[in-house]
């Protein structure tokens, strides 16, 4: 019997595997893909905190561009938000997943590819994991299997509150400028343009039921991109708002499976890896009790997710309210990209003073 089975070798699953393996535990990661990191469905646009999760060399290897601000577009109006230092980084997301998986292996975790988990059966003493090919047994099981988590369904845990559909594509334009563009003329969420150095990414997130291709067309045509210049179109679900419980006695969810994302961007790489660290610190396979994990990750991320929901609601407000809000906050900002609570910080208030 293993100590820990982790379903999914995304950044969150690998971070968790690394942390448990470092404790000398026997850890197996089951990953359905034949290659870690693929298929890609993510922009890899992250705050500088990513450097807390990578060595300097690895960060530099996957770093593609540094961003200092964003232009928000509402109709023909444009509002700029910026800082005099890097606010975010554009990274090679496939590269990130591979680096994190390598770290997990080096710490002693086993990663088995092409192993799709189909069922998880919990008993009072252990957990059984059924895959297409095999059966595994462990003391505890972590569902790090993304937005449409099989583990979550298998143990009857509730889904995140709602989902957006994200779709993106790339062009071969060279652009290492340091502003991203955010388009607000899409239903309930937003579209984006991200300069990636040797390419540019265009994407959009819209509610379920919307025609994603139609909205991607809207975004790319706003920037005069020809249809034949778009390549590698890919899509994925974006979970928003964690449910009231993400664990049973011996099974727990981390990352997108638990809805641990920023409600106003859908970004979940860093929230998920922070929650993975907390899970490894609080859940002991020898004496499993997931209560401390539930408490600790909500303590760490809860206020930012709570405030993030209000920002998300702004996308659905009438354009007059949106524009008023952006007009008020535009200019230099003191806000941390992952921590909307810093909107209320002294640094942000100072940045808004007219005589700054």
Ligand X SMILES: Cc1cc2nc3c(=O)[nH]c(=O)nc-3n(C[C@H](O)[C@H](O)[C@H](O)COP(=O)(O)OP(=O)(O)OC[C@H]3O[C@@H](n4cnc5c(N)ncnc54)[C@H](O)[C@@H]3O)c2cc1C
Among 19, 45, 98, 336, binds ligand X (CB under 6 A): 45
Q: With respect to ligand X, which residue has the nearer C-beta, 236 or 308?
A: 236
By the rule CB under 6 A, 41 interacts with ligand X: yes
Per-residue x/- track, 319-338, ligand X (CB under 6 A): --------------------
Q: With respect to ligand X, which residue has the nearer C-beta, 276 or 333?
A: 276
Q: How far apart are CA 200 and CA 173, in angstroms?
A: 6
CA angle in degrees (0–180, nearest 5) for 336-350-353: 125
Using CB under 6 A as the binding rule, the residues of this chain from 105 to 144 that contact ligand X are 116-117, 144
Do 73 and 323 touch, CB atoms closer than 8 A? no
Do 291 and 278 touch, CB atoms closer than 8 A? no
By the rule CB under 6 A, 199 interacts with ligand X: no
Q: With respect to ligand X, which residue has the nearer C-beta, 240 or 333?
A: 240
Q: With respect to ligand X, which residue has the nearer C-beta, 13 or 288?
A: 13
- Choose the binding region for ligand X from 24-32, 215-223, 303-311, 344-352 (rule: CB under 6 A): 24-32
By the rule CB under 6 A, 285 interacts with ligand X: no
By the rule CB under 6 A, 16 interacts with ligand X: no
Q: How far apart are CA 134 and CA 11, in angstroms?
A: 24
By the rule CB under 6 A, 31 interacts with ligand X: yes
By the rule CB under 6 A, 8 interacts with ligand X: yes
Among 242, 259, 268, 340, binds ligand X (CB under 6 A): 268
Q: With respect to ligand X, which residue has the nearer C-beta, 242 or 268?
A: 268
On the question of a cis peptide bond just before residue 184, with omega within 30 degrees of 0, the verdict is no
- Choose the binding region for ligand X from 106-114, 173-181, 222-230, 254-262 (rule: CB under 6 A): 254-262
- Choose the binding region for ligand X from 7-15, 122-130, 314-322, 341-349 (rule: CB under 6 A): 7-15
Among 44, 191, 195, 308, binds ligand X (CB under 6 A): 44
What is the signed CA dihedral for 123, 127, 131, 133, rounded to 10 degrees?
Answer: -100
C-alpha closest to that of 150 among 134, 167, 129, 133: 129
List of residues contacting ligand X (CB under 6 A): 7-13, 30-33, 41-46, 116-117, 144-146, 150, 166, 168, 203, 236, 238, 255-256, 261, 266-270, 272
């Amino acid at each position: 019997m293993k100590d820990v089975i982790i379903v999914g070798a995304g950044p969150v699953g690998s971070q968790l595997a690394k942390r448990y393996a470092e404790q000398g535990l026997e850890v197996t990661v089951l990953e359905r893909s034949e290659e870690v990191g693929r298929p890609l469905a993510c922009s890899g646009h992250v705050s500088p905190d990513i450097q807390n999760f990578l060595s300097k060399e690895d960060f530099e290897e996957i770093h593609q561009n540094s961003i200092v601000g964003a232009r928000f577009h509402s109709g023909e109006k444009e509002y700029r938000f910026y800082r005099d230092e890097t606010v975010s980084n554009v990274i090679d997301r496939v590269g990130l997943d591979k680096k994190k998986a390598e770290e997990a292996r080096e710490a002693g975790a086993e990663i088995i590819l092409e192993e799709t988990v189909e069922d998880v059966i919990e008993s009072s003493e252990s957990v059984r994991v059924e895959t297409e090919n095999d059966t595994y047994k462990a003391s505890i099981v972590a569902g790090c299997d993304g937005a449409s988590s099989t583990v979550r369904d298998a143990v009857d845990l509730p889904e995140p509150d709602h989902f957006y559909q994200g779709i993106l594509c790339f062009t071969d334009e060279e652009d290492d400028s340091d502003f991203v563009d955010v388009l607000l003329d899409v239903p309930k969420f937003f579209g984006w343009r991200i300069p990636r150095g040797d390419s540019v990414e265009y994407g959009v997130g819209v509610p379920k039921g919307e025609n994603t291709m139609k909205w991607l067309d809207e975004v790319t045509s706003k920037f005069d991109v020809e249809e034949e210049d778009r390549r590698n179109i890919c899509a994925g679900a974006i979970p928003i708002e964690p449910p009231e419980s993400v664990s049973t006695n011996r099974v727990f969810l981390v990352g997108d499976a638990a809805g641990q994302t920023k409600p106003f961007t859908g970004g979940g790489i860093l929230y998920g890896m922070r929650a993975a660290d907390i899970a490894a610190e609080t859940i002991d396979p020898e004496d499993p009790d997931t209560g401390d994990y539930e408490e600790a990750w909500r303590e760490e991320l809860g206020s930012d997710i709570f405030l993030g929901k209000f920002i998300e609601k702004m996308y659905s407000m009438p354009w007059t309210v949106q524009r008023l809000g952006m007009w008020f906050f535009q200019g230099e900002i003191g806000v941390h990209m992952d921590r909307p609570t810093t909107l209320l910080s002294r640094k942000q208030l100072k940045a808004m003073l007219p005589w700054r």
